[in-house]
Amino acid sequence: MKRAVVLLSGGLDSVTTLAMAKEQGFECYTLSFNYGQRHDAELVAAEKLSKQVGAVEHKVIDIDLRSIGGSALTDNKFDVPEQHQDGIPITYVPARNTVFLSIALGWAEVLSAEAIFVGVNAVDYSGYPDCRPEYIEAFEQLANLATKAGVEGQKLTIHAPLIKMTKAEIIHHGTKLGIDYSQTISCYQADSDGLACGRCDSCRFRQQGFEQAGIGDPTSYQC
């Protein structure tokens, strides 16, 4: 069976991506990161969702991105914004997707996997430069230049199936695949019980997605 490494954060987009990889017939190995984010509730959700969707194995990698800071998600000097920001917002984590994809690439090579799936989105997103199609294309090229597998002809593909979908389209597709979105956590500043703030960018995009999809929002909020 063809194998894939799937980046799984515990949020709405990444679990939909996992379900889509399964739908395409991939044997899935899920990968999450404890990178110094504001809460670990999403990691608990990711492990649970990985089992529910039927991944073969789930790993959590520890990386301390707090040591370089520069983001409201990894540096307490900054507050998570609760209003729209022009330009690239302070919730952008410098080089995060590059770091995550690089480690996923290493595991994919060990597993002889032919694909990596990542739930980045260029439509309903916060302006992050590492969520664009040209970034994914560039990383795929790098992956096949920089690995023993790629040099020997075992080409690897980076799949970003959500990249041109709206949040409503993602929710519709995931609902058809049987995803229980009440188990997902997308909030940048969820509490220790996984309850969402309902005010950050991620919460707002999620709320709008369910509203536009005509599907009740199953998210548990703090108030």
pLDDT of residue 168: 96
Both tokens assigned to 214: 């005509």
* pLDDT class of 6 with cuts at 50, 70, 90: very high
Q: 145-193, pLDDT tens digit by residue?
A: 999 999 999 999 999 999 999 999 999 999 999 999 999 999 999 998 8
Q: Is 52 helix (H, G, I), strand (E, B) or coil?
A: helix
Q: 129-149, pLDDT tens digit by residue?
A: 999 999 999 999 999 999 999
The answer to whether 159 and 116 have CB atoms below 8 angstroms apart is yes
Both tokens assigned to 119: 């739930």
pLDDT at 126 over 70: no
Domain residue spans in the chain?
Answer: 3-213
The answer to whether 34 and 43 have CB atoms below 8 angstroms apart is yes
Q: 98-122, pLDDT tens digit by residue?
A: 999 999 999 999 999 999 999 999 8
Q: Distance (Å, rounded) from C-alpha 43 to C-alpha 38? A: 11
pTM of the model: 0.94
Q: 21-69, pLDDT tens digit by residue?
A: 999 999 999 999 999 898 899 999 999 999 999 999 999 999 999 999 9
pLDDT of residue 23: 97
Provide the 10 A C-beta neighbour count for residue 134: 9
pLDDT of residue 124: 62
CATH superfamily of 3-213: HUPs (3.40.50.620)
